[in-house]
Structure 1
């Protein structure tokens, strides 16, 4: 049994399941439909694939070497999450719509999930610093880091599909007009606060 691999899986699981913008976006889409939530989760896994690939290639080190690029990506990521939150809250001003109308009027859930995740440059830095620690001394680095990257993506796929199933299981309650608007308002506020916090952290850094 590979103790390092087990330890990495535990750490990666904690990082993937940590509540944040990814979680809020998946819940928001899962309220529209199970398919929208599942596709959004795929988008997030795609974003994580980009981050882990950058870490494996070492390209993420450029973000450290070029602070202006890092800050620009942080601003873009914060602004995107913020606008998702504001759009969600603004939609609450309108009369209730059907799930089909909501899905048709929103950005594609795959794009939402992917962009929300991929515009977080801290993820690349996290994996850049984390992956090398779990490569055994003397073993080839590339196959090992690719395996670690695959574990991260699989965990993300499993976790967000579980979130979608949970929302689906509670769907009849969550989709009652009052409950649906309350949860939509909650995710909207969460996204708005997270986006604003990301922007402020970058601007004040």
Structure 2
């Protein structure tokens, strides 16, 4: 039968094209500084690697049988997104057009110390996303050869997923860098913070609501 690579690639590309919490996070960091955006993207893909390894070890199948496990992951993910959104809104509220010197100092600190934070935020956002667990548990197996080695196929398709994501995030960071100068304008940045912060809080609320439904 063989692995259905074409269908798998199509599904993965479609999944990346649909904006989610990862997209909001990487975009925000990419506007601040290119390396921050790349660090957040690397963190997101590292989180995806954890899901891949867990699935390959068979732990996902065990976790899928526990409603409590998914509920905990869902609520943690929702709480983290809401916290991130509130943080973004607070940053936008405290930023003013007259604080150019302070803004430069903050940007300098982000360049020196922000890369690990960007990586960690990207990593946790992906790691606490239950959709990633569901993908490796229920979507990915549909493209595998039942007669083949399950672990090898999960790792191969997982690596392909991560590789596609690397290309995608590189493109996202490049595009956001092109519009960074516009988004860094005080009034535009204020609205950008409001929109992205609000969307993060909304995504967290939807995730929590779905978990209670």
Pairwise same-fold verdict (TM > 0.5): yes
Residue in 1 aligned with 2:66? 66
Equivalent pairs, count: 203
Distance 1:190 1:154, change over 3 A: same
Q: Which 4+ residue blocks in structure 1 deviate beyond 6 angstroms?
A: none
Residues 39 and 119 of structure 2 are in contact (CA less than 8 Å); yes or no, is this contact kept in structure 1? yes
Scaled by the length of structure 1, the TM-score of the pair is 0.90
Distance 1:107 1:138, change over 3 A: closer
Match of 2:162 among 144, 147, 153: 153
* 1:58 Cα deviation from its structure 2 partner: 2.1
Tell me if 1:144 matches 2:158. no
Listed one character per residue, the Cα deviations across residues 122-181 of structure 1 (whole Å, up to 9, x for unaligned) are 311221112222222433332222110001111111111211110111222222222222
Unaligned runs of 5+ in 1: none
Unaligned runs of 5+ in 2: 97-102
Listed one character per residue, the Cα deviations across residues 38-71 of structure 1 (whole Å, up to 9, x for unaligned) are 1000000011111122222221122221111210
Tell me if 1:124 matches 2:133. yes
Moved more, 29-38 or 87-96: 87-96
Listed one character per residue, the Cα deviations across residues 84-141 of structure 1 (whole Å, up to 9, x for unaligned) are 0011001112134233356658970000000001011231122111222222243333
Tell me if 1:191 matches 2:204. no
Residues 39 and 110 of structure 1 are in contact (CA less than 8 Å); yes or no, is this contact kept in structure 2? yes
Where 1:19 maps in the other structure, the secondary structure is coil
**What does 1:102-117 correspond to in 2, within 5 Å?**
108-117=117-126
Scaled by the length of structure 2, the TM-score of the pair is 0.87
Moved more, 70-79 or 165-174: 165-174
Tell me if 1:88 matches 2:88. yes
